Amino acid sequence: MRVARVALPTTVDEAVVALRDAPGAQLLAGGTDFCVEVNFGLRRPPAVVALRRVRELRRHAVTPETVVIGAGTTYADMGDPGLSSALPALAAAARTVGSPQVRNAGTLGGNVATASPAGDTLPLLAALDARVVLRGPSGERTASLGEVVTGVKTTSIGPDEVVVEVVVDRRPGPQQFVKVGTRNAMVIAIASAAVVVDVEAHEVRVALGSVAPVPVRATAAEVHIADAIDWRAAGGPRASEGALARFGELVAGAASPITDHRSTAEYRRLAVGVIARRALERCVARAA
Amino acid sequence: MPPEEPLTGSAGPADTPAYERVEPYELVVNGTRMTVEDAWLGESLLFVLRERLGLPGAKNACEQGECGSCSVLLDDVVVCACLVLGVDAVGSRVETVEGLTASGEVADIQAALVEAGGVQCGFCTPGFVVALHDLLRRAPSADDMTVREALSGNLCRCTGYGRILEAVRAVQWQRGAGVSTGEGPGDGA
């Protein structure tokens, strides 16, 4: 009989030490993915470092320039008034995750580290060029989301590293998240899209979920629509019907979806163009 | 559950008999300190409650956080007990439907569910009682959409939900909580 090590640290530094001291130990955050895998015999941790007690991971800070979100921030926490007014599309994405029970447990750090193509917070983070701060025995490093999330459920996070926080630059203007699934609750995305409109830089940022191994930016669509929008129109930015339609086509072209038990590649490609356009239309007016 | 002792349902790899035991640990469940001994590291709080602590109120159905039948309160927050590792509940307050029933604080919810026909096979009922208790103390006047969202993680395959929603309105009326019709104070879920 082996006695398994269980560490219940209260600081990030303690968690890093605990990871180092128990080789093979697995980090446990909200448990909403981890425990399902254990329950179904797909994961058998020899040791666990549980992060639920690390209060510093649950902090967030909103400044005029950036938003820093602790990795332990739950989906429910993302609806916090300060955080949701700075990042309304993150709050919207979080509200589509699972159920209240799941949103009370699951965390931002867990969503990043699990790196599911359907991770609901990832499109917005990709759209905002989020930086991920990781801490290990040799200190902290910062990496882009794209450097961290490298494939389907694979990351560049070292076995001795803890996701500490995610940092995004604030963008002045509207942002939206739209997701397609079989019902409103308790659903894993068939396709999702985050749109961020920067009314000062005259930029549109679009990132897609569940239509590629990792969240993808629809850069051709971004360039096209930024050019097509009348940024100085009275009553706010507006775009023509034709420009919006082209935007949807370019978004669909950026997707490389697969057919699986949730949907088909064809439907995902179609849907992601429709929802990205819909998200954009909630941000900018349609020119008459 | 421990891979060595596959009682029902899921288990770990069958070819590795020695499982990762954890040192005995204490949980505070319904205000009572309880010791968990001889447990496997991978045991969920749900398994520990049901199989080790004799508290079968939280029901085991999906084991993946889809159905809400194992809803419990962990430090006052409603979660699925199947998605909490038993050892990760150390130092937290766990409240199950048994504790809420014993204290009488959900008696009106239980009675309203029975009265409205919101209980048929009954398997999902404990989870609904816990989720409803959580909602109504945070948002006593929750409107219909708020109630539906709060219950969206609890599946019932018998009632079609209409009678459950009827029961919620009855509890709100009995508790004297005016049900609001739109966004407003007390609606925050």
Residue A186 confidence (pLDDT):
87
Give the integer Cα–Cα distance in Å for A186 and A240.
Answer: 36
Residues of chain A with Cβ-Cβ distance to B149 below 8 Å are 100, 185
pLDDT surpasses 70 at B16: no
Q: Please give the mean pLDDT across all residues of chain B.
A: 89
pLDDT digits (tens, 9 = 90+) for A123-167: 999 999 999 999 999 999 999 999 999 999 999 999 999 999 999
pLDDT surpasses 50 at A212: yes
State both tokens at A128: 């905002």
DSSP code string of A100-165: HHHHTT-BHHHHHHH--TT-TTHHHHHHTT-EEEEEETTEEEEEEHHHHEEETTEE---TT-EEEE
Which chain B residue shows the shortest CA-CA distance from A99? Answer: B153
CB-based contact A111:A119 (threshold 8 Å): yes
B88 touching chain A per CB within 8 A? yes
For CA atoms A150, A156, A157, A163, the dihedral sign is negative
Give the integer Cα–Cα distance in Å for B44 and B51.
Answer: 10
Cβ within 8 Å, pair B20-A2: yes
Domains and CATH numbers, chain B: 25-95 (3.10.20.30), 104-174 (1.10.150.120)
Residue A287 confidence (pLDDT):
83
- Total beta-carbon pairs less than 8 A apart between chain A and chain B: 124
Q: How deeply is B159 buried, as exposed, middle or buried, from its count of CB atoms within 10 A (0-12, 13-18, 19+)?
A: buried
Give the integer Cα–Cα distance in Å for B168 and B183.
Answer: 18
CB-based contact A101:B153 (threshold 8 Å): yes
Residues of chain B with Cβ-Cβ distance to A25 below 8 Å are none
Residue B4 confidence (pLDDT):
52
State both tokens at B155: 């599946």
pLDDT surpasses 50 at B11: no
Give A158-161 contacts, CB < 8 A, sequence gap 24+: A158/A134, A159/A19, A160/A16, A160/A19, A160/A20, A160/A136, A161/A16, A161/A19, A161/A134, A161/A135, A161/A136
pLDDT digits (tens, 9 = 90+) for B49-64: 999 999 999 999 999 9
Residue B187 confidence (pLDDT):
40
**Pick from A262, A249, A16: nearest CA to A117:** A262
DSSP state of A14: H
**What percent of chain B has a predicted confidence (pLDDT) above 90?**
81
pLDDT surpasses 90 at B183: no
Cβ within 8 Å, pair B90-A8: yes
Q: Distance from B85 to chain A by nearest Cα, in Å?
A: 7
Domains and CATH numbers, chain A: 5-50 (3.30.43), 56-169 (3.30.465.10), 175-286 (3.30.390.50)
Residue A156 confidence (pLDDT):
98
Spell out the residues 6+ positions from residue A138 whose beta carbon is closer than 8 angstroms to its own: none
pLDDT digits (tens, 9 = 90+) for A160-210: 999 999 999 999 999 999 999 998 888 899 999 999 999 999 999 999 999
ipTM: 0.94
pLDDT digits (tens, 9 = 90+) for A48-102: 999 999 999 999 999 999 999 999 999 999 999 999 999 999 999 999 999 999 9
What mean pLDDT comes out for the span B162-179?
Answer: 93
Of the given ranges (B8-17, B29-38, B96-105, B115-124), which has the lowest mean pLDDT?
B8-17
pLDDT surpasses 60 at B144: yes
Cβ within 8 Å, pair B23-A45: no
Q: Please give the mean pLDDT across all residues of chain A.
A: 96
pLDDT surpasses 70 at B109: yes
Residue B6 confidence (pLDDT):
43
Cβ within 8 Å, pair A99-B41: no
What backbone phi and psi angles, to 5 degrees, belong to B43?
Answer: -70, 130
Give the integer Cα–Cα distance in Å for B71 and A154.
Answer: 31
**Pick from A42, A80, A39, A41: nearest CA to A58:** A80
Residue B189 confidence (pLDDT):
39
State both tokens at B59: 């029901």
Of B11, B18, B131, the CB nearest to A41: B11
